[in-house]
Amino acid sequence: MTAALDAYWMPFTANRQFKQQPRLLARSSGMHYWTDDGRQILDGVAGLWCVNAGHARPRIVQAIAEQAAELDYAPPFQMAHPKAFELAERVAALAPGDMNKVFFTNSGSESVETALKMALAYHRVRGEGHRTRLIGRERGYHGVNFGGISVGGMVANRKMFGNMLGGVDHLRHTHDPAKNAFSVGQPAHGADLADDLERLCALHDASTIAAVIVEPVAGSTGVLVPPQGYLQRLRELCDKHGILLIFDEVITGFGRTGAPFGAQTFGVTPDLMTVAKGLTNGCVPMGAVIARQHVYDAFMQGPEHLIEFFHGYTYSAHPLACAAGLATLDTYAEEGLLTRASELQGYFAEALHSLRDAPHVIDIRNIGLVGGIELTPRPGAPTQRAFDVFLDAFHKQGVLLRTTGDTIALSPPLIIERTQIDQLVDTIRTALKRVA
């Protein structure tokens, strides 16, 4: 370990392992990174599920630079700047149904906290303050703040931090390899798992439940695609019991599933939707909560001079983030990127599923341009086999993958070409043959 690497405590990283064999990225363009020693690396994960339009896109770079020179910061409390309203209008125009109110944050984690607070406050301002319970799902990932890890269901993200938020329960996850292994697209079995909500309503009384939050596709836990009819059933049950439905679209938003949002891919409109990542192509931190009209209207009561929702961030709707967001949406529109995954998903699926007979593979899951390849855990060393594939791909083959547990996750930039899909799959196949 060198002094130059010592001070930085890295997030979600095996720090000691990394600092013995660093993986340092120095620049990027299009589908590629370059390491500090000049090696070209094909980006198979869009940075961290976020660089949907590819790296260093000129329109976005120029917009950020021009905005920094024109207006570097504007206070978001009782003040604003024009690009905040323009970006909100553009985002709302992409959202389904009457999801037309946009509240800006700085990350997916903050978007989740904001949506949970909105849900609780929504019921309170309507005279149903007894609705305080939040329902998440096992294996869900909703960021790393206390609200997010409370409704989330990934054990490693929760176990070290003591008490979570009170009044939280969880639906069962939808991963059922015994019935759905190697499904192409949405699995056939599992819609009935949504009926867990009925069980929780009976246990807690539906009148105590404020919201249910799920990812349309559970990404960070290993790409769990919703069974056919599952999200539709959740929507029906939430409507039946007066519960708000929140979709965490931090990963699925902005083209990942073949439509602007997963809500449109699956034909289900939530009451609140959290987004981030692809909103600015990962260039400037930004997130948002998109709300339906009735949620917003519930707050717009009482004297007009009083604050309706006591929540926000110093950097909400930051001018640089708004400029990046507008240029990102322009890039998506000009190149048809918000629907490109639907055009490539057949080829992507066929390529991924060609790994079915590769060593150690026990399941493959896909939707749009996101895929998960689940491996048999190495006895006594869970997660190590997938991580060895990651290391082989990066150091020996010049490809960046992502692993979560014993699953290899792929979410390439939406500009990927078929030859690059082939390269990703061939890289994984070669690595699987080399790892024990």
Tens digits of per-residue pLDDT, 226-254?
Answer: 999 999 999 999 999 999 999 999 999 99
pLDDT at 123: 98
pLDDT at 436: 82
pLDDT at 1: 40
pTM: 0.97
pLDDT digit string (tens) for 7-62? 999 999 999 999 999 999 999 999 999 999 999 999 999 999 999 999 999 999 99
Backbone torsions φ then ψ of 289, nearest 5 degrees? -115, 130
Of the pLDDT bands very low, low, confident and very high (cuts 50, 70, 90), residue 179 is: very high
Residues 6+ apart with CB under 8 A from 8: none
Rounded distance between C-alpha atoms, residue 258 and residue 253, angstroms: 10
Rounded distance between C-alpha atoms, residue 434 and residue 436, angstroms: 7
pLDDT digit string (tens) for 266-304? 999 999 999 999 999 999 999 999 999 999 999 999 999
Q: Where in the chain is the domain with CATH 3.40.640.10?
A: 62-335
Q: What's the Cα-to-Cα distance from 32 to each of 43, 53, 133, 239, 399, rounded to whole Å?
A: 5, 12, 44, 45, 9
pLDDT digit string (tens) for 358-415? 999 999 999 999 999 999 999 999 999 999 999 999 999 999 999 999 999 999 999 9
Q: Residue 147 in contact with residue 165, Cβ under 8 Å?
A: yes
Check: CATH 3.40.640.10 for 62-335? yes
Backbone torsions φ then ψ of 227, nearest 5 degrees? -60, 155
Rounded distance between C-alpha atoms, residue 310 and residue 114, angstroms: 11
The continuous run of DSSP H or E covering 421 comes out as helix 418-434
pLDDT at 3: 57
Q: Where in the chain is the domain with CATH 3.90.1150.10?
A: 3-52+337-434
pLDDT digit string (tens) for 61-119? 999 999 999 999 999 999 999 999 999 999 999 999 999 999 999 999 999 999 999 99
Residues 6+ apart with CB under 8 A from 22: 5
Q: Residue 151 in contact with residue 140, Cβ under 8 Å?
A: yes
The continuous run of DSSP H or E covering 85 comes out as helix 82-94
What number does CATH give the domain 3-52+337-434? Answer: 3.90.1150.10
